[in-house]
Amino acid sequence: CSSANSGWLFEGCNGHWLTSYTGPRNSVNLNVNAPLTETAMFFPGVAVSTGSGGSVSYSYDAKSGVVNESSKSTIYVPAGTKVSFSANPSSPLTPLRAWHGDVTGTSSSISVMVDSPLRVNAEFSNDYLLPGSLIFFIAVVAVVIAIRRSRKRRANLQEIT
């Protein structure tokens, strides 16, 4: 029937006449004694990758899956399929920085209509602002407490003398 180009997966042949072939093989022998039509079916691939810091879940039709942290996987879907992706940070300190490849954006969820092979990459960042802010806040509270205690001690000492 046929073979696939790079980025595509041969899914099968669909015959339209009695002597035609329908099935998953890409090479068959047929005795042609009448008109026949063979349609080769190819699915475009979506190469999904993640860096360190999180995973990507995907869903389309009734199917779903996950590409784990620091991994790559290619999913093949029928052309014209809408695929949804969600970035899943492994901790609050590694939020999604951006989507790269054939889709871009910074929202944690995106959807794309797949008509040809695509690349999707989720880049997670190390967000040190949150722990740094927390440490700064704790330090400020500690200084305020220390100043109040110091003032209270001075006031107590002045009352004694």
What local confidence, expressed as pLDDT, does residue 140 receive? 84
What local confidence, expressed as pLDDT, does residue 122 receive? 97
What local confidence, expressed as pLDDT, does residue 3 receive? 67
Burial, 156: exposed, middle or buried (Cβ in 10 Å; 0-12, 13-18, 19+)?
A: exposed
Structural contact between residues 96 and 108, judged by C-beta atoms closer than 8 angstroms: yes
What local confidence, expressed as pLDDT, does residue 1 receive? 55
Place of tokens 């009352």: 159
Q: Give the separation between CA 31 and CA 33, rounded to whole angstroms.
A: 6
Nearest to 22 by CA among 45, 43, 35, 41: 41
What local confidence, expressed as pLDDT, does residue 70 receive? 94
What local confidence, expressed as pLDDT, does residue 9 receive? 87
Place of tokens 């595509």: 8
What local confidence, expressed as pLDDT, does residue 27 receive? 62
What local confidence, expressed as pLDDT, does residue 30 receive? 59
Residues in the chain with pLDDT values less than 70? 1-4, 15-34, 36, 38, 127-134, 161
DSSP β-ladder status, 118-124 and 96-101: antiparallel
Residues 6+ apart with CB under 8 A from 120: 46, 47, 48, 49, 56, 85, 99, 101, 102, 103, 112
What local confidence, expressed as pLDDT, does residue 150 receive? 82
